[in-house]
A and B are shown apart, each in its own frame.
Chain A
Amino acid sequence: MESLISVEHLKKYFATQKAVDDISFKIYKGSIFGMLGPNGAGKTTLLRMITGIFYPDSGEILFNGKKFNPSNDAAYIGYMPEERGLYKRMKIGEQAIYLARLKGLSRADAVQKIRYWFEKLEMQSWWNKKVEDLSKGMSQKLQFVTTVLHEPQLIILDEPFSGLDPVNANLIKDEIYRLSQKGSTIVFSTHRMEQVEEICDHIVLINKGTKILDGTVRQVKQDFKENLFQIGFENHPHSLPPNQIFEVAGTTDHSLVVKIKDGYKPHDVLQYLLSQQHEIVLFHEILPSLNDIFIRLVEGTPLSRQFQPVVA
């Protein structure tokens, strides 16, 4: 797979903390990439470097294999920052055209594309209204449209779902998915693990300026699995005699949760249970949720970033 963005040994130090402390990873073309991490981890700083807003103190960013050049490459990138903002008193249609043209679209193209998106997301009546007339959710929808309007190769969304009600959140999620199908690469930074699990291909977990996870969702889950299986019985036994293959980790109303011991496979569990004349109706692996993994990895570190003087 080709990498669209390659980040190598990036560092960005501020006076009071090392926001980004030697981070490297690759973002592959056409993937949906999740950047996760607790508050203050350095996600926004990283994203700002990728968009060319900040310059790294050291390290390199490659865009499409070449050194990243903000003024040229900005046209291929769409960025929706965490702090949403648009000109309040400018008319919506006009503003969308303005932002699109700054990205290099011609006026005609911009108008056509805006019409397309407005129709798609049922925003046609907004054209002549002002941004200050919109509710928060509406203005976020609008901002999303302005971000993806110029069909950028790379779409960067910082906390795209914050402040959205479930309906709109779902809408945006579907659009993200569709855009990715059409070939765009999407990076989003979030806390919402459920969303990440649903649509991300690849994730990176950042804490205190360093990378602590890097891999596909499936891979990460596999890495952290604990060999837990849920078994549903026709007649719930409520307990099983201890044995060498597994131990019972928990029960629910309709099933048991067992942890397979080292050296044994799920197959062995099934065989054992069948030999005990149990009727199995359900048997599947419980993979850890990203939420659990996140908490596990980040636990033990202070919940918010502390400020310390930086000795460079």
Chain B
Amino acid sequence: MDKIWLIIKREYLTRVRNKTFILSTFLLPIVMILFIGGVILLTVKSVDQYKIAVNDASGMFKDEFKSTKMVLYDYRSDINEKNYMKEGYSGILMIPILHKEKKDTIRLISEKQLGLMTDDAIRKEINKAVEDRMFQDRGIDRRVIDSIRENSENSVYEFRSLQVKGGQVKESNSGRSYGIGFACGILIYITLFIYGAAVMRGVMEEKMNRIAEVMISSAKPFQLMMGKIIGIAAVSLTQFLMWIVLMSVLSTALTAFIPHDMIQQAQQVNQNMPNMAQNNSMAFKILEFKNVFSDVNWGLLLFCFLYYFLGGYLFYSALFAAVGSVVNEDPQEAQALMLPITMPIILSFIVMSIAASTPSSPVAVWGSIIPFSSPIVMMARIPYGVPGTVPYWQLALSMVLLFLGFLFTTWMSAKIYRTGILLYGKKVNFRELGRWAFRRS
């Protein structure tokens, strides 16, 4: 046991003291926060207020248009297409006398394109005014229209989505659950690739450097393999922890620097844009996220995240170690052998995106139980509620299977590792791997 500890320490320390590690751990959050800050600033700055002159020949729209931060409407009958710029307007809205029988054209004239946002905003205002006009023509009072408009969802009725199981009632917020689930799923997906590959590279390094033989004369191959896997697990946990800490610290700093209403404004601007142009960047998603800290069961979520993070890593890194031990100098060989491992991971990601939006579908359920995909898929389902969407037995089964799965892959890989690490120059195919794995030692 002593020896494994020595090996773990070495694997951990050499990686943690590495310049690349330190850089990536500190730079990433800083870059991300700067990026978010930048997006906010840019979005807000990009909103100029346009002054639009309204030449309303029909007289229907007088005072109908409401000026906003984006568009300032000025009713002038003396301005036309020729002189609007001189008078200091960015554009002019030419409304002709509207006839009921034919479709007339309302024109927005400007020298420079005012942009999708402004165009759309103006169009919306016009539509609203026309609608109002049509209601009025049919005898519906303006005030009635106004009060109806103002009666949003929350005054006439309240919409609540509830999960009821047994005696428990829980508020459900599908959007939020989707977001959390998806985020967790992605995190674990990325982890598997980054750290799984790190394990494989470490094993390959020992083989290429020929130090494997010296090591095996001092420690058992199993100790070498597990020492490396656990050491890298510790590195990944360290990096994650640092990222979380840094992200929290920095994003709090960000809100200190950028006034709150600027952030809100940026969000509003984003929402007001026509859907196609919405800047659905991660930046905004993260911002929206921070407002949602209410009654998610963080304790359970964290525990499950750690369990699946580690479990998934251990499950797959054993396989990566086995592949690394068998590869010779040919990088193509490495790619080919990696394929059967990366495929399930990628597949899990696809299942996860389904599970994140329909957590109770059979695909999602099975995906969250089978050890190959459970680390990624189960995390997408859990935010929807345990024991609601995810019954206790499913969670338990999934965890147990993952544990057994990791034992199995470790056992199998240890056998492959022990033989492969000293075999140089021989190309190995899967049948041989199978033989090594299942041969009696």
Interface residues of A (CB under 8 A from B): 48, 51-53, 55, 70-71, 74, 77, 79-81, 83-90, 98-99, 101-103, 143, 146
In chain B, positions 178-208 with a C-beta closer than 8 Å to chain A are 205-206
**Alpha-carbon distance between A86 and B214 when the two chains are bound, in angstroms:** 8
Shortest Cβ gap from A253 to chain B (Å) = 49
List, in ascending order, chain B residues with CB within 8 A of A102's CB.
3, 6-7, 215, 218-219
Known A-B contacts A81-B210, A83-B210; the reply to A53 vs B422 at CB < 8 A is yes
Please determine whether B217 and A52 come into contact, CB atoms closer than 8 angstroms.
Answer: yes
Shortest Cβ gap from A61 to chain B (Å) = 14
CB < 8 Å neighbour of B210 from A53, A70, A84, A89? A84
CB < 8 Å neighbour of A86 from B209, B217, B220? B209
Please determine whether B212 and A85 come into contact, CB atoms closer than 8 angstroms.
Answer: yes
Please determine whether B213 and A81 come into contact, CB atoms closer than 8 angstroms.
Answer: yes
List, in ascending order, chain A residues with CB within 8 A of B220's CB.
70-71
Shortest Cβ gap from A108 to chain B (Å) = 15
Please determine whether B217 and A99 come into contact, CB atoms closer than 8 angstroms.
Answer: no
Please determine whether B214 and A81 come into contact, CB atoms closer than 8 angstroms.
Answer: yes
CB < 8 Å neighbour of A74 from B210, B211, B212, B217? B217
For residue B14, CB closer than 8 A to chain A, the reply is yes
- Closest residue to A131 on the B side, CB-wise? B209
Known A-B contacts A98-B6, A102-B3; the reply to A74 vs B209 at CB < 8 A is no
Which of A70, A81, A83, A102 has the largest count of B CB atoms less than 10 A from its CB?
A102
- Closest residue to B3 on the A side, CB-wise? A102
CB < 8 Å neighbour of B209 from A55, A70, A88? A88
Which 10 pairs, one residue from A and one from B, show the smallest C-beta to C-beta distance?
A85-B210, A85-B211, A79-B217, A102-B218, A83-B210, A81-B213, A85-B209, A51-B217, A53-B216, A86-B211
In chain B, positions 1-31 with a C-beta closer than 8 Å to chain A are 3, 6-7, 10, 14
List, in ascending order, chain B residues with CB within 8 A of A98's CB.
6, 10
- Closest residue to B10 on the A side, CB-wise? A98
Shortest Cβ gap from A136 to chain B (Å) = 13
List, in ascending order, chain A residues with CB within 8 A of B217's CB.
51-53, 74, 77, 79, 81
List, in ascending order, chain B residues with CB within 8 A of A86's CB.
209, 211, 214
- Closest residue to B211 on the A side, CB-wise? A85
List, in ascending order, chain A residues with CB within 8 A of B214's CB.
79-81, 85-86, 99, 143, 146
List, in ascending order, chain A residues with CB within 8 A of B441's CB.
55
Shortest Cβ gap from B419 to chain A (Å) = 10
Chain A to chain B contacts (Cβ below 8 Å), 18 pairs: A51-B217, A53-B422, A71-B220, A74-B219, A79-B217, A83-B424, A84-B210, A86-B209, A87-B14, A87-B205, A87-B206, A88-B205, A88-B209, A90-B14, A98-B6, A98-B10, A101-B6, A102-B218
Interface residues of B (CB under 8 A from A): 3, 6-7, 10, 14, 205-206, 209-220, 422, 424, 441
**Alpha-carbon distance between A102 and B219 when the two chains are bound, in angstroms:** 7
Please determine whether B211 and A87 come into contact, CB atoms closer than 8 angstroms.
Answer: yes
**Alpha-carbon distance between A85 and B209 when the two chains are bound, in angstroms:** 5
Shortest Cβ gap from B238 to chain A (Å) = 19
- Closest residue to B212 on the A side, CB-wise? A85
**Alpha-carbon distance between A194 and B215 when the two chains are bound, in angstroms:** 31
List, in ascending order, chain B residues with CB within 8 A of A71's CB.
220
List, in ascending order, chain A residues with CB within 8 A of B206's CB.
87
**Alpha-carbon distance between A77 and B216 when the two chains are bound, in angstroms:** 12
**Alpha-carbon distance between A86 and B10 when the two chains are bound, in angstroms:** 14
- Closest residue to B424 on the A side, CB-wise? A83
- Closest residue to A84 on the B side, CB-wise? B210
Shortest Cβ gap from B81 to chain A (Å) = 72
List, in ascending order, chain A residues with CB within 8 A of B209's CB.
85-88
**Alpha-carbon distance between A175 and B175 when the two chains are bound, in angstroms:** 73
**Alpha-carbon distance between A105 and B402 when the two chains are bound, in angstroms:** 38
List, in ascending order, chain A residues with CB within 8 A of B10's CB.
98
Please determine whether B6 and A83 come into contact, CB atoms closer than 8 angstroms.
Answer: no
List, in ascending order, chain A residues with CB within 8 A of B213's CB.
48, 53, 79, 81, 83, 85
- Closest residue to A52 on the B side, CB-wise? B217
**Alpha-carbon distance between A42 and B441 when the two chains are bound, in angstroms:** 22
List, in ascending order, chain B residues with CB within 8 A of A80's CB.
214
**Alpha-carbon distance between A99 and B211 when the two chains are bound, in angstroms:** 11
**Alpha-carbon distance between A71 and B7 when the two chains are bound, in angstroms:** 15
- Closest residue to A88 on the B side, CB-wise? B209
Which of B3, B211, B424 has the largest count of A CB atoms less than 10 A from its CB?
B211
Shortest Cβ gap from A90 to chain B (Å) = 6
List, in ascending order, chain B residues with CB within 8 A of A90's CB.
14
List, in ascending order, chain B residues with CB within 8 A of A84's CB.
210
Shortest Cβ gap from B9 to chain A (Å) = 9
- Closest residue to B209 on the A side, CB-wise? A85
List, in ascending order, chain A residues with CB within 8 A of B210's CB.
81, 83-85
List, in ascending order, chain B residues with CB within 8 A of A48's CB.
213, 422
**Alpha-carbon distance between A80 and B217 when the two chains are bound, in angstroms:** 9
**Alpha-carbon distance between A74 and B3 when the two chains are bound, in angstroms:** 12
**Alpha-carbon distance between A39 and B215 when the two chains are bound, in angstroms:** 25
**Alpha-carbon distance between A71 and B224 when the two chains are bound, in angstroms:** 13
Given A79-B213, A84-B210, output 19 extra A-B contacts at Cβ < 8 Å. Answer: A48-B422, A52-B217, A53-B216, A53-B422, A55-B441, A70-B220, A74-B217, A81-B217, A83-B213, A85-B214, A86-B209, A86-B214, A87-B205, A87-B209, A101-B6, A102-B6, A102-B218, A102-B219, A143-B214
List, in ascending order, chain B residues with CB within 8 A of A103's CB.
218
**Alpha-carbon distance between A99 and B3 when the two chains are bound, in angstroms:** 11
**Alpha-carbon distance between A74 and B209 when the two chains are bound, in angstroms:** 21
**Alpha-carbon distance between A81 and B217 when the two chains are bound, in angstroms:** 10
**Alpha-carbon distance between A146 and B211 when the two chains are bound, in angstroms:** 12
List, in ascending order, chain A residues with CB within 8 A of B422's CB.
48, 53
Shortest Cβ gap from B428 to chain A (Å) = 12
- Closest residue to A100 on the B side, CB-wise? B218
Shortest Cβ gap from B434 to chain A (Å) = 15
Shortest Cβ gap from A3 to chain B (Å) = 21
List, in ascending order, chain B residues with CB within 8 A of A99's CB.
214, 218
**Alpha-carbon distance between A98 and B424 when the two chains are bound, in angstroms:** 25
**Alpha-carbon distance between A81 and B10 when the two chains are bound, in angstroms:** 22
List, in ascending order, chain B residues with CB within 8 A of A146's CB.
214
List, in ascending order, chain B residues with CB within 8 A of A83's CB.
210, 213, 424
**Alpha-carbon distance between A51 and B216 when the two chains are bound, in angstroms:** 9
**Alpha-carbon distance between A216 and B418 when the two chains are bound, in angstroms:** 37
**Alpha-carbon distance between A74 and B223 when the two chains are bound, in angstroms:** 14
List, in ascending order, chain A residues with CB within 8 A of B211's CB.
85-87
- Closest residue to B216 on the A side, CB-wise? A53
Shortest Cβ gap from A221 to chain B (Å) = 33
Shortest Cβ gap from A83 to chain B (Å) = 4
- Closest residue to A44 on the B side, CB-wise? B213
**Alpha-carbon distance between A100 and B382 when the two chains are bound, in angstroms:** 48
- Closest residue to A90 on the B side, CB-wise? B14
